[in-house]
Structure 1
Amino acid sequence: MWLASLGVAVVVASIASRAVAEAPAPLEREGDRAASAYADGEVLEQLRRLAAVPGAPPGDVAAFFGRPASPGETLFPFDLRLLSQKGDVFVAAAYRFERDASLLWRTGDYWGQACRRYVVQPSRVTSEPIECPPEAPEWPTGRGD
């Protein structure tokens, strides 16, 4: 019994020390999670509103992806970049700026990133999470460059 307790204590100590010693994996960063929430929430909702407008030109969707960031986004900046378009399929990168607030890992400020494939049709808009393609910039152009 004592030996089993000692074994469990060693395993728990090992896991705890690794959790403290290792920085989070890139996909676990808060900025990436926030960018994903932005892509699946606000961006998707706006695309659905655009698609619901009768007779709206397809260029309205492309213009939405190309709009400049609003001035109110300076405190919690989100951004969006169109990476490619083929007909009604849009591949975009969503970004969220994160300040380094970690006491354990000094990673510096960074832009979280999440990529989506949106299919925008008049009757329906769908979204699919995808790996960001190599041509996706690490941060939105015009912000921090």
Structure 2
Amino acid sequence: MQSQKGTKLGIWILLIICISQGVYIYFSEPSRPDPTKVVSVTHVGEGGAIYEILYDSGGATVPLIYRYFLMDIQANDQEALKKSTEREPFLVTKSPNAVRKVIGDSVKLKTSETIYDFHNVSIYKNNGKINIVTFDLVSTVK
């Protein structure tokens, strides 16, 4: 018959290993890569802009990724790149030039590549006022 004390010790050791591995996985999760450059800026609403930002840090085996951010108009591209690291994109795709038409606070988007993430509503703050922008996405596969 097995020792009850040995079984309990084994369970505690396995539990500690599992918790340690969970903590390691949580804290070592890869973060978003650094943005490469601002590809385009499209003005929307009052004092807002959509920034199309290229991420190509994956090397030869990872495709070019475009992230689209809605934020207040930035002074220059470097400020936009810096602020994009603090914001979540409303669209992540392989497709460049997704912004097709802006009508007030509504934006028409079109892609023909893989979409990794999309949110049809986003907000930006300008002079203390929160502005809501909606997105209409049309996606086709080549």
Provide the TM-score with structure 1 as the length reference: 0.28
Structure with a larger share of its residues in helix: 1
Larger strand fraction of residues: 2
State TM-score, norm by structure 2.
0.28
